[in-house]
């Protein structure tokens, strides 16, 4: 059976079934009928792999929702949840003579796509399938937001917090690829286990002497002429040619205070956090709360560090899976509202129909704008938020009628 099952699923079904809710949230943001290839590298979409066409041992390939339904119906399909910046591979050179039925004129390969063992049905550091019939432990897997691989909680190397406040997880491997995230984890992430850094006394001495050990802070975005990056090019050149030579840093650079550079002042939040003398053990996966991305430093040097580590998407809160799911829910919700309106209008006369349509469109526009704002900010659409929206809407209507 295709992913888009040939049966009627009611809103009540979705509300009562948690698995259906998850599937609806993932699939609602992707087009089930039109191949996404013409859109280029889609910011985020539901992605699948076909074990029938590209089994283990051949190059991995990914499919959009529409091609999974139309071109690979009846095949052995792996559901990969969502992937960022992915372009549909269906029918390209990886599929031999097989051609896409929906968008046949494709390039031979999509060079910017990123693949991992998920595309061959394997997950986690244990490289096992999911579901795994040989695994005696029945547990849901958790996706890392950076590498987008899926992990068993018992293989994350940390205690898994069961909290609705925790939205995203970064595995230990990805934390080490972007080591500056450990500093943020000390202050933002869960669990909040911190200790006084053993280097605190040494940092105080360095502040007085206005210098720093040669081998310290190699992984920290630092300032160089007011901007700086993860060890400035001039520092790297000197260290490469003379192992005993290091860049001397100013007092402001070591303390995280704003650094004046000609006519502008550069502030680095990461450096400020570094000076607080707290440190977290650099081991295990890290769980992050809602809106943690908004707390990342956006100075020029830190932005450069994100690009160098390949995690620049962390600055985009609309990159989150939650934002993607909210957008899909909004789009599907708009279609449902339109259907409800048309069925209700049949019982009204022409004047009443026009009045209702006008008021409905006005309300719908305001509601969609409100929901899109929540989606872009990565916020959860709660019952309280909806009640507040309609409460404010009714208050405005009453004021208009009384004026």
Structural domain contains residue 341: no
Confidence of residue 118 (pLDDT cuts 50, 70, 90): very high
State the pLDDT at residue 43: 93
Q: What average pLDDT does the segment 131-144 reach?
A: 91
Residue 53 φ then ψ, to 5°? -90, -35
Query: Which residue among 120, 145, 167 closes a domain?
Result: 120
Assess contact for 149 and 124: CB atoms under 8 A: yes
Structural domain contains residue 60: yes
Structural domain contains residue 244: no
Taking the C-alpha atoms of residue 189 and residue 239, their distance in angstroms, rounded to an integer, is: 34
Residues 177 and 304 placed together within one structural domain of the fold? yes
What domain range is 187 assigned to? Answer: 131-191+269-316
Lowest mean pLDDT among 33-47, 204-218, 264-278, 361-375: 204-218
Structural domain contains residue 376: yes
Q: What average pLDDT does the segment 210-218 reach?
A: 42
Find, among 79, 12, 14, 91, the residue nearest to 48 by Cα: 79
Two tokens, residue 10: 């009611």
Taking the C-alpha atoms of residue 35 and residue 100, their distance in angstroms, rounded to an integer, is: 9
Name the percent of the chain lying above pLDDT 70: 59
Residues 303 and 173 placed together within one structural domain of the fold? yes
State the pLDDT at residue 368: 75
State the pLDDT at residue 360: 62
State the pLDDT at residue 253: 46
Structural domain contains residue 161: yes
Residues 376 and 304 placed together within one structural domain of the fold? no
Structural domain contains residue 380: yes
Residues 29 and 110 placed together within one structural domain of the fold? yes
Name the percent of the chain lying above pLDDT 90: 44
State the pLDDT at residue 162: 73
Strand positions, DSSP E, 87-165: 142-143, 150-151
Residues 149 and 46 placed together within one structural domain of the fold? no
Lowest mean pLDDT among 50-64, 194-208, 253-267, 359-373: 194-208
Residues 51 and 23 placed together within one structural domain of the fold? yes
Assess contact for 90 and 53: CB atoms under 8 A: no
Lowest mean pLDDT among 104-113, 125-134, 241-250: 241-250
pLDDT digits (tens, 9 = 90+) for 257-303: 554 554 456 899 999 999 998 888 999 999 998 889 999 999 999 99
**Tokens 């004047």 sit on residue:** 351
Assess contact for 233 and 225: CB atoms under 8 A: no
Average pLDDT, the chain: 76
Residues 22 and 77 placed together within one structural domain of the fold? yes
Assess contact for 324 and 306: CB atoms under 8 A: no
Assess contact for 65 and 48: CB atoms under 8 A: yes
Residues 115 and 160 placed together within one structural domain of the fold? no
Two tokens, residue 244: 């005993």
Two tokens, residue 341: 């309106």
Q: The whole model's pTM is what?
A: 0.64
Structural domain contains residue 125: no
Lowest mean pLDDT among 9-13, 299-303, 393-397: 9-13
Residues 137 and 182 placed together within one structural domain of the fold? yes
Q: What total number of domains does the chain contain? A: 3
For the chain, the residue count is 403
Confidence of residue 356 (pLDDT cuts 50, 70, 90): low
Q: What average pLDDT does the segment 191-196 reach?
A: 49
| Chain centroid to CA 271 | 25
Structural domain contains residue 324: no
Determine how many CB atoms are found less than 10 A away from the CB of residue 278.
16
Residue 63, strand partner residues: 48
90 φ/ψ sector (left φ>0, alpha ψ -120 to 50, else beta): beta
């Amino acid at each position: 059976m295709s992913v888009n099952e040939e049966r009627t699923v009611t809103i009540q079904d979705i509300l009562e079934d948690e698995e259906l809710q998850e599937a609806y949230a993932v699939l609602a943001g992707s087009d089930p009928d039109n191949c996404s290839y013409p859109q280029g590298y889609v910011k985020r979409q539901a992605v699948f792999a076909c074990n029938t066409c590209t089994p283990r041992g051949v190059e991995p390939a990914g499919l959009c929702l529409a091609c999974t339904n139309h071109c690979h119906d009846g095949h052995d399909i792996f559901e990969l949840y969502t992937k960022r910046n992915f372009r549909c591979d269906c029918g390209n050179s990886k599929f031999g003579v097989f051609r896409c039925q929906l968008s046949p004129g494709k390039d031979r390969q999509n060079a910017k796509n990123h693949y991992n063992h998920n595309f061959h049905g394997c997950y986690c550091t244990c490289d096992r399938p999911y579901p795994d019939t040989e695994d005696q432990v029945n547990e849901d897997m958790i996706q890392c937001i950076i590498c987008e691989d899926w992990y068993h909680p018992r293989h994350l190397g940390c205690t898994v917090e069961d909290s609705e406040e925790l939205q995203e997880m970064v595995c230990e491997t990805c934390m080490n690829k972007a080591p500056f995230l450990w500093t943020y984890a000390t202050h933002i992430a869960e669990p909040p286990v911190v200790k006084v850094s053993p280097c605190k006394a040494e940092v105080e001495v360095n502040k007085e002497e206005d210098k720093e050990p040669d081998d310290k802070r190699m992984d920290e975005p630092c300032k160089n002429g007011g901007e700086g990056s993860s060890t400035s090019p001039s520092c790297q050149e000197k260290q490469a040619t003379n192992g005993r030579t290091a860049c001397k840093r100013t007092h402001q650079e070591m303390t995280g205070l704003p650094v004046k550079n000609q006519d502008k002042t550069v502030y680095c939040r990461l450096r400020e956090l570094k000076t607080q003398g707290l440190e977290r053990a650099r081991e295990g996966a890290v769980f992050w709360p809602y809106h943690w991305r908004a707390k990342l430093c956006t100075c020029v040097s830190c932005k450069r560090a994100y690009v160098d580590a390949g995690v620049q998407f962390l600055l985009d809160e609309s990159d989150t899976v939650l934002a993607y799911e909210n957008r899909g829910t909004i789009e599907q919700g708009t279609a449902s509202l339109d259907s409800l309106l048309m069925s209700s209008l049949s019982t009204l006369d022409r004047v009443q129909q026009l009045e209702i349509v006008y008021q409905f469109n006005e309300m719908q526009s305001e509601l969609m704008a409100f929901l899109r704002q929540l989606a872009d900010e990565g916020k959860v659409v709660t019952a309280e938020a909806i009640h507040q929206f309609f409460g404010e809407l009714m208050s405005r209507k009453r004021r208009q009628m009384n004026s």
